[in-house]
């Protein structure tokens, strides 16, 4: 019986399996390489998928299959190992394989466009061309424009820049080339050309040396690098990257979104003496794709990026580093809800290379893994160089009159700090002016019409904003309920604190760093540069200010309000609070200027706060781990969260009840079900939300249930009336 080749294709669609097609007409077997993109008919349209494998089957089995339309790549974009990792991730996170694979592709490639050329096309004036005068070109205005552009930019320019700048377009390029005035040169972009030498590293201290020596680059191993901010973790990463490169391998370094600053990129480039492929969401699609190809083809030895860079194909991968591994931004919170940190460990294991997770405040998951012997725990105990650790103090604000959340003691300390010519940093977990707008006469509170949430006043724009769904409206001048004009604000966000500080310290330069002041490209870097140059003496901001940056001239840090963290609804709230306090505290101080941290709280006697202040993060984490163990919460158990939402109020619950019933029959008592319950914010963006939590003592039990359960969920009738998603190892409960 004749045999038929069948293509298994990962097609982006909300279905958990791959799709089978016959090979496109007129393709030879040699062209059917797993990892190439395939255009396929799908429903009434067409989609771009990726070939996972080619199987042979009896001819008859293929009869009902459709024929794929075309192969889009001559060479595979993914290796077999890359595809296997993506399939593993799709199974583990219970996400459709087609969407997982699409997630790993740069945007243009996802849409089926041809790969961008990796080499840069550079046009240069020849000796003859350099002697020409644009004005002499008379009526050939486009050629004159191009000639002028090249003369102005010193004789050569990339083709993309020329076309962007006008530059007369392609016809002008061709015309001048024919005249012999310009020539084309194709080369690797400057980013990845090695400079002759890098900057020499500082001599590593004993802790750093021990950490570097502990890592075996020849095989898989997980290492937790635990060291306070400024203890020299980045130097350890750099030393390991250098060693991996010397062995002819590639290195992948992941940092949180906020940590990928131009300073960090420059630091890596200078030390390694070469450019990096930098991958993050702020890049233009073309730049990002080019970096992706350079990595995939092995041209870029080092990839520095955020979460999504984890899935970059790297043929010679020899080291993975995840800095600030506790950071929430490593978990994708929508669509394919993977944890780049956890997948990094899996990827390293499958690639046979080491992975280093670094943090000043390791997650309880990673600490638990270190204790269980799965990760090797490496510690940097001192600050590198001369810096001293900051001193933490609790400031009791019970029955203290606050002004915009600032206590008199904190204000006095701010004044002293500024008088001594130092910088101070204030952390507030909320942007905008005030989180509550209320009517003094009747008690009306400004609420979002689409969410169970209050609106935040943004005074500069006079808008009431919902921070949950993004909807906004003009600030009312009168109470919409009773018509009274006495509308007041309660609480404070960064805008209001800035206003009050400007009143107290009119001479001081104030840098406010939050999402509102950094929306425009480059504005964050400008603010950070200003801080470094001493243009600002008061820094205030949200999380954005708390992470990644080091401000050596800051000697006072004030944390306005930590109390939500102590009693948060989420069992991770206390862990996050402790991490945040230590991270904020870590921004400050150096040898001759040790830092001080004041934490305003209404619960100064809370044992957790006490422990954090007197014994530090490690002791706090030990305590929190004991609590988690007693309550059988992660990392001592494994969770998955089934979320559902719909515009009709009862629909999510009906679906989740049915899903729970199904799970119960499948689970056989090895997986606990909690819920369904309404989400902490039940209505958001006009939709009602609820969830069902699954928890098991063994990861394998949970995985076994999920594999069967999730594929059956789609078939439930009630599933059609909701939007649902599954979140494996959820980090947040909303």
| Binder of residue 444, out of ligand ADP, Zn ion, none (CB less than 5 to 8 A by kind) | Zn ion
Interface with ligand ADP, residue 262, by CB under 6 A: no
Interface with ligand ADP, residue 204, by CB under 6 A: yes
Q: Judged by CB, which is closer to ligand ADP: 209, or 333? A: 209
Interface with ligand ADP, residue 234, by CB under 6 A: yes
Q: Is residue 514 a contact partner of residue 486, using CB atoms and an 8 Å limit? A: no
Interface with ligand ADP, residue 229, by CB under 6 A: yes
Q: Judged by CB, which is closer to ligand ADP: 344, or 457? A: 344
Q: Give the DSSP H or E segment for 234.
A: helix 233-246
Q: Judged by CB, which is closer to ligand ADP: 204, or 705? A: 204
Backbone phi and psi for residue 610, each to the nearest 5 degrees, phi listed first: -60, -45
With CB under 5 A as the contact rule, the residue among 72, 118, 314, 466 that binds Zn ion is: 466
Backbone phi and psi for residue 184, each to the nearest 5 degrees, phi listed first: -100, 140
Interface with ligand ADP, residue 213, by CB under 6 A: no
Q: Which residues contact 60 (CB under 8 A, 6 or more apart)?
A: 1
How many residues lie near ligand ADP (CB under 6 A)?
A: 15
Interface with ligand ADP, residue 503, by CB under 6 A: no
| Binder of residue 435, out of Zn ion, ligand ADP, none (CB less than 5 to 8 A by kind) | none
Backbone phi and psi for residue 266, each to the nearest 5 degrees, phi listed first: -60, -40
Where do we find the tokens 């990928």? Answer: 260
Interface with ligand ADP, residue 382, by CB under 6 A: no
CB of 209 to ligand ADP, least distance (A): 9
Where do we find the tokens 């993004």? Answer: 470
Measured distance CA(175)–CA(153) in Å, rounded: 19
For residue 193, how many other CB atoms are within 10 A of its CB? Answer: 11
Q: Judged by CB, which is closer to Zn ion: 247, or 442? A: 442
**In the numeric block, which tokens belong to residue 317?**
């991968």
CB of 479 to Zn ion, least distance (A): 3
Cα dihedral 366/367/369/372 (nearest 10):
180
Interface with ligand ADP, residue 579, by CB under 6 A: no
Q: Judged by CB, which is closer to ligand ADP: 208, or 438? A: 208
Interface with Zn ion, residue 451, by CB under 5 A: yes
Q: Judged by CB, which is closer to Zn ion: 370, or 439? A: 439
Interface with ligand ADP, residue 205, by CB under 6 A: yes
With CB under 6 A as the contact rule, the residue among 227, 318, 558, 595 that binds ligand ADP is: 227
Measured distance CA(293)–CA(678) in Å, rounded: 44
What ranges make up the beta strands (E) of 609-722? Answer: 638-646, 671-684, 687-696
Q: Judged by CB, which is closer to Zn ion: 263, or 471? A: 471
Three-state SS for 566?
Answer: helix
Starting at the edge strand found earlier in the chain, the sheet holding 277-279 runs 277-279, 302-305, 250-254, 317-323, 354-359, 221-227, 376-380
Q: Judged by CB, which is closer to ligand ADP: 271, or 290? A: 271
Measured distance CA(145)–CA(212) in Å, rounded: 55
**In the numeric block, which tokens belong to residue 427?**
């952390």
CB of 238 to ligand ADP, least distance (A): 8
Cα dihedral 644/646/650/654 (nearest 10):
-40
Q: Judged by CB, which is closer to ligand ADP: 72, or 225? A: 225
With CB under 6 A as the contact rule, the residue among 12, 76, 129, 230 that binds ligand ADP is: 230
- Going by C-alpha positions, the residue among 89, 2, 122, 590 that lies closest to residue 336 is 89
With CB under 5 A as the contact rule, the residue among 479, 562, 644, 667 that binds Zn ion is: 479
DSSP β-ladder status, 463-465 and 472-474:
antiparallel
Interface with ligand ADP, residue 634, by CB under 6 A: no
CB of 277 to Zn ion, least distance (A): 38
Q: Judged by CB, which is closer to Zn ion: 213, or 442? A: 442
The DSSP symbol for 656 reads H
Interface with Zn ion, residue 448, by CB under 5 A: yes
- Going by C-alpha positions, the residue among 393, 398, 467 that lies closest to residue 429 is 467
Measured distance CA(70)–CA(530) in Å, rounded: 53
Distance of CA 651 to the CA centre of its chain: 32
Q: Judged by CB, which is closer to Zn ion: 152, or 481? A: 481
Q: Judged by CB, which is closer to ligand ADP: 234, or 600? A: 234
Backbone phi and psi for residue 596, each to the nearest 5 degrees, phi listed first: -125, 140
Interface with Zn ion, residue 450, by CB under 5 A: yes
Q: Which one of 11-19, 96-104, 232-240, 394-402 is the stretch in contact with ligand ADP (CB under 6 A)?
A: 232-240
Q: 106-129 burial by CB neighbour count: b if 16+ within 10 A, else e?
A: beebbeeeebbebebebbebbeeb
For residue 435, how many other CB atoms are within 10 A of its CB? Answer: 19
Q: Judged by CB, which is closer to ligand ADP: 103, or 234? A: 234
**In the numeric block, which tokens belong to residue 69?**
């339309």
| Binder of residue 441, out of Zn ion, ligand ADP, none (CB less than 5 to 8 A by kind) | Zn ion
Beta bridge partners of 690: 644, 678
Interface with ligand ADP, residue 209, by CB under 6 A: no
How many residues lie near Zn ion (CB under 5 A)?
A: 14
Interface with Zn ion, residue 679, by CB under 5 A: no
Q: How many CA atoms lie within 13 A of 502 on its CB side?
A: 9
| Binder of residue 469, out of Zn ion, ligand ADP, none (CB less than 5 to 8 A by kind) | Zn ion
Interface with ligand ADP, residue 232, by CB under 6 A: yes
Q: Judged by CB, which is closer to Zn ion: 272, or 455? A: 455
Interaction residues for ligand ADP, span 464-483 (CB under 6 A): none
- Give the max Cα distance, the chain: 91
Q: How many CA atoms lie within 13 A of 185 on its CB side?
A: 14
Q: Which one of 25-33, 223-231, 312-320, 451-459 is the stretch in contact with ligand ADP (CB under 6 A)?
A: 223-231
CB of 228 to ligand ADP, least distance (A): 7
Interface with Zn ion, residue 439, by CB under 5 A: yes
CB of 230 to ligand ADP, least distance (A): 4
What is the number of residues in the chain? 734
Taking residues 383 to 422 in sequence order and writing x for each that binds ligand ADP by CB under 6 A, - otherwise, the string is -xx-------------------------------------
| Binder of residue 227, out of Zn ion, ligand ADP, none (CB less than 5 to 8 A by kind) | ligand ADP
CB of 323 to ligand ADP, least distance (A): 7
Measured distance CA(280)–CA(292) in Å, rounded: 11
Please report, as ranges, the residues that interact with ligand ADP according to CB under 6 A: 202-205, 208, 227, 229-235, 384-385
């Amino acid at each position: 019986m004749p045999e038929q080749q069948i293509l298994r294709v990962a097609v982006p669609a909300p279905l958990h399996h791959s799709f089978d097609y016959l090979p496109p007409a007129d393709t030879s077997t040699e062209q059917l390489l797993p990892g190439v993109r395939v255009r396929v008919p799908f429903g009434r349209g067409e989609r771009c998928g990726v070939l996972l494998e080619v199987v042979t089957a009896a001819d008859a089995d293929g009869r009902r299959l459709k024929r794929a339309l075309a192969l889009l790549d001559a060479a595979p974009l993914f290796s077999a190992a890359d595809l296997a990792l993506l399939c593993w991730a799709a199974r583990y996170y219970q996400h459709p394989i087609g969407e997982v694979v699409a997630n790993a592709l740069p945007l243009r490639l996802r849409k089926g466009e041809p790969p961008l050329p990796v080499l840069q096309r550079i046009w240069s004036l020849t000796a003859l061309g350099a002697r020409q005068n644009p004005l002499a070109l008379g009526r050939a205005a486009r050629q004159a424009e191009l000639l002028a552009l090249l003369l102005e930019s010193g004789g050569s320019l990339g083709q993309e820049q020329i076309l962007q700048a006008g530059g007369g377009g392609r016809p002008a390029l061709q015309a001048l080339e024919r005249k012999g005035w310009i020539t084309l040169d194709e080369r690797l972009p400057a980013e990845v050309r090695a400079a002759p030498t890098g900057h020499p590293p500082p001599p590593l201290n004993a802790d750093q040396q021990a950490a570097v020596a502990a890592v075996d680059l020849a095989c898989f191993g997980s290492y937790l690098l635990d060291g306070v901010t400024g203890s020299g973790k980045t130097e350890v990463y750099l030393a390991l990257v250098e060693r991996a490169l010397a062995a002819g391998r590639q290195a992948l370094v992941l940092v949180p979104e906020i940590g990928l600053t131009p300073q960090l990129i420059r630091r890596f480039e200078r030390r390694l003496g070469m450019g990096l492929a930098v991958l993050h969401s702020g890049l233009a699609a073309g730049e990002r794709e080019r970096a992706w190809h350079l990595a995939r083809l092995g041209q870029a030895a080092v990839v520095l990026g955020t979460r999504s860079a984890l899935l970059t194909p790297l043929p010679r991968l020899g080291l993975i580093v995840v800095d600030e591994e506790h950071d929430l931004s490593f978990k994708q919170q929508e669509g394919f809800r993977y944890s780049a940190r956890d997948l990094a460990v899996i990827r390293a294991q499958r690639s046979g290379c080491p992975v280093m997770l670094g943090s000043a405040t390791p997650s309880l998951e990673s600490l638990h893994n270190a204790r269980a012997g799965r990760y090797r725990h490496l510690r940097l105990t001192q600050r590198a160089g001369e810096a001293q650790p900051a001193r933490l103090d609790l400031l009791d604000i019970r029955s203290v009159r606050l002004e915009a959340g600032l206590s008199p003691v904190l204000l006095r300390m701010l004044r002293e700090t500024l008088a001594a010519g130092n910088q101070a940093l204030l952390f507030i977990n909320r942007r905008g002016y005030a989180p509550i707008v209320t009517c003094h006469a009747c008690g009306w509170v400004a609420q979002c019409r689409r969410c169970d949430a209050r609106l935040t006043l943004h005074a500069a724009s006079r808008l009431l904003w919902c921070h949950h769904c993004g909807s906004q409206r003009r600030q009312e001048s009168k109470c919409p309920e009773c018509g009274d004009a006495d509308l007041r604000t309660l609480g404070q966000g960064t805008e209001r604190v800035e206003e009050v500080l400007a009143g107290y310290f009119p001479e001081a330069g104030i840098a406010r760093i939050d999402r509102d002041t950094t929306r425009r490209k480059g504005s964050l870097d400008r603010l950070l540069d200003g801080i470094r140059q001493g243009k600002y003496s008061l820094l205030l901001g949200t999380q954005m200010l708390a992470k990644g940056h080091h401000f050596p001239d800051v000697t006072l840090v004030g944390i306005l309000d930590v109390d939500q963290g102590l009693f948060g609804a989420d069992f991770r709230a206390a862990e996050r609070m402790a991490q945040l306090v230590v991270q904020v505290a870590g921004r400050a101080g150096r040898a001759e200027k040790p830092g001080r941290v004041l934490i305003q709280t209404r619960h100064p006697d809370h044992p957790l706060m006490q422990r954090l202040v007197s014994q530090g993060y490690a002791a706090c984490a030990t305590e929190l781990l004991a609590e988690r163990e007693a309550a059988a919460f992660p990392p001592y158990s494994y969770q998955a969260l089934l979320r559902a939402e719909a515009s009709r109020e009862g629909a999510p619950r009906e679906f989740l009840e049915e899903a729970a019933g199904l799970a119960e029959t499948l689970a056989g008592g090895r997986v606990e079900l909690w819920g369904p319950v309404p989400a902490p914010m039940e209505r958001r963006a006009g939709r009602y939300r609820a969830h069902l939590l699954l928890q098991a003592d063994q990861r394998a039990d949970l995985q076994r249930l999920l594999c069967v359960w999730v594929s059956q969920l789609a078939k439930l009738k009630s599933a059609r009336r909701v939007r649902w998603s599954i979140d494996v190892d959820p980090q947040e409960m909303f």
